[in-house]
Amino acid sequence: MSGQRIDRQTTRIAGLILLAVLLGGCVNATVDEMTYNEPVAGIGESSVVILGRRHKPDYDTEFDFIECIGDHIHSGDPSIEVINEIAFINQFYPWFEPRTAPLQPQTIDRLLQLPPVAARFDEMKLEYMIWIDGNTENTESTGSMSCGIGPGVAGCFGFGTWGTESEYEATIWDFTDKVEVGRVSAQTSGQNYMPAVVVPIPIIAPVQGTACDSLGDQLLEYLSAFH
């Protein structure tokens, strides 16, 4: 009798796993773009820096997300030199800290009045500064899972699910003219599942990765002469 119940439960969990596998990995993405003054011939030997906004009280734009976008752009067009964010912030310390980072392109002029800052920018041949603002968050979660441990036995049983949402906006500043030349935004969301029959198997929706690819594609299209 109890064997039949376990069989039924196992079948139900297996069904849920199958459903989760089918649904897992499904991510909804919405991309918005508004750009102008595109560099038709590409950016030549100039460089680009991508920086995250971290002055808001409740979130920081993740360093690894910025790195992901930089890698995406560089792998799409190796001729585009993307300066590493942390190296850039350290080289310009203390002018790109959350407290001091310019919020408007016009305020860069004030930074350029400092001779060592102006000299370093010259060395870098910086053409575009791209600011990314946003983050990825887990949203509501449901389900239950219980885990147990005994002499020589351990395992979990149950099912859990939770959502993940990403919202990022990239603002492109033309560093030569000190003007904003575009905004690209990406909103993605997805559902994650964690069925557990002895061993929990997380099925994670690549929400942040999709946001990185979407934003990276748009930025690559803007910066590269070959896309």
Which parts of 77-132 fold into alpha helices (H)? 85-91, 108-112, 115-124
Kindly state the number of chain residues that form the binding site for other proteins, as judged by CB under 8 A: 22
State which of residues 6, 14, 26, 114 lies at the interface with other proteins (CB under 8 A).
114
**Other C-beta atoms within 10 Å of 12: how many?**
11
- Is residue 90 a contact point for other proteins (CB under 8 A)? yes
> Given the rule CB under 8 A, which of 15-23, 85-93, 169-177, 179-187 is the region that contacts other proteins?
85-93
Q: Which H or E run contains 15?
A: helix 2-23
CA distances, 142 to each of 17, 26, 204, 210 (Å): 15, 18, 15, 24
For residue 139, the SS3 value is strand
Site pattern 29..58 for other proteins (x: CB under 8 A): ----------------------------xx
State which of residues 7, 32, 97, 122 lies at the interface with other proteins (CB under 8 A).
97
- Is residue 59 a contact point for other proteins (CB under 8 A)? yes
State which of residues 93, 110, 139, 226 lies at the interface with other proteins (CB under 8 A).
93
Q: What is the dihedral of CA 95, 39, 72, 203, to 10 degrees?
A: 100
State which of residues 149, 150, 153, 199 lies at the interface with other proteins (CB under 8 A).
149
